[in-house]
Amino acid sequence: MSDVNTKKLITDPLSDNNPITVQILGVCSALAVTGNIANALVMGVAVTLVTAFSNLTISSLRNYIPGRIRLIVQLVVIAALVTLVGEALKAFAYDLSKELSVYIGLIITNCIVMGRLEAFAMGNKPLPSFLDGIGNGLGYAAILLIVGTIRELFGTGSLLGFTFFGEEAFHNISFLKHGFFHAFFHNGLMVLPIASIFIIGIIIWIQRSKNQELVDIS
């Protein structure tokens, strides 16, 4: 395996083979947990870990897994890893685990994870599979972060909990107290998961207008 290929395993899913905007996988959670940046970040990290290590595990076992039960084996590995991530969050970041609650468990049904196992890990060696998992996890996290940033900024006027717009913005800095930052009204639509559909749609549009090869004309 050449170095160019190794690099492509990580960089491809970030743009031309992005799991959300090109493979159209994992859209459900991209709509649900992108209300603010902190949630998007933790979810991105969690999915990256699960995808990478499930790819590694399945790829190491690929020659021993009986063909007839391979989907069951894949699911067991994913479910076990997701449970580990969930327990670790509860122990070391309790507030975040409360906020993400059901969505951590739902990583099990995130199509990216199983999609990569079937499409890549079952037919490739452990190291490339591991990198493919990391690449796809990062590609997913990148979209989540973009959507999360836009939604948090315009929905609640803050970034990572720090308020930029609205009546509470800079309330202890006198020369910024009035004017531009206060004239902003929070956009209620951005708070709802529905906003993500529009944002992801626009990202897909921009990406395809830049790279015509991605346009499916069939």
Partner 1 sequence: MNTNSNGYTLGFLAIMVVVVGGALALVSSALKPTIDANVLLDTRTKIMKSLLALSEEDESSKLTANFVNSEYEKNVKAYLVDYNGDVVEEKIPATYDFRKEMKDASKPLENKLFPVYEYTNNGEKTYALQMLGLGLWDEINGYIALKEDKKTIKGVAFDHKGETPGLGAELVKYKFRKQFFNQSLFDTNGNYDFVVYKAGKLPANGKGVDGLAGATLTTNGIDAMVKHTAEIYKNFLNK
How far, in Å, CA of 116 to CA of 97, rounded? 25
Nearer to partner 1 among residue 69 and residue 202 (C-beta): 69
158: β partners: 163
Nearer to partner 1 among residue 76 and residue 176 (C-beta): 76
162: β partners: 159
Among 3, 4, 92, 218, binds partner 1 (CB under 8 A): 92
Among 2, 67, 179, 212, binds partner 1 (CB under 8 A): 67
Among 18, 21, 29, 36, binds partner 1 (CB under 8 A): 36
Minimum separation from the CB atom of position 120 to partner 1 (A):
20
Residue type at position 180: F
How far, in Å, CA of 68 to CA of 130, rounded? 24
Under the criterion CB under 8 A, does residue 176 sit at the interface with partner 1? no
Report the SS3 class of residue 159: strand
Structure letter (DSSP) for residue 64: T
Minimum separation from the CB atom of position 87 to partner 1 (A):
5
Among 156, 169, 196, 199, binds partner 1 (CB under 8 A): 156
Under the criterion CB under 8 A, does residue 145 sit at the interface with partner 1? no
Q: What angle do CA 175, 163, 189 make, to 5 degrees?
A: 125
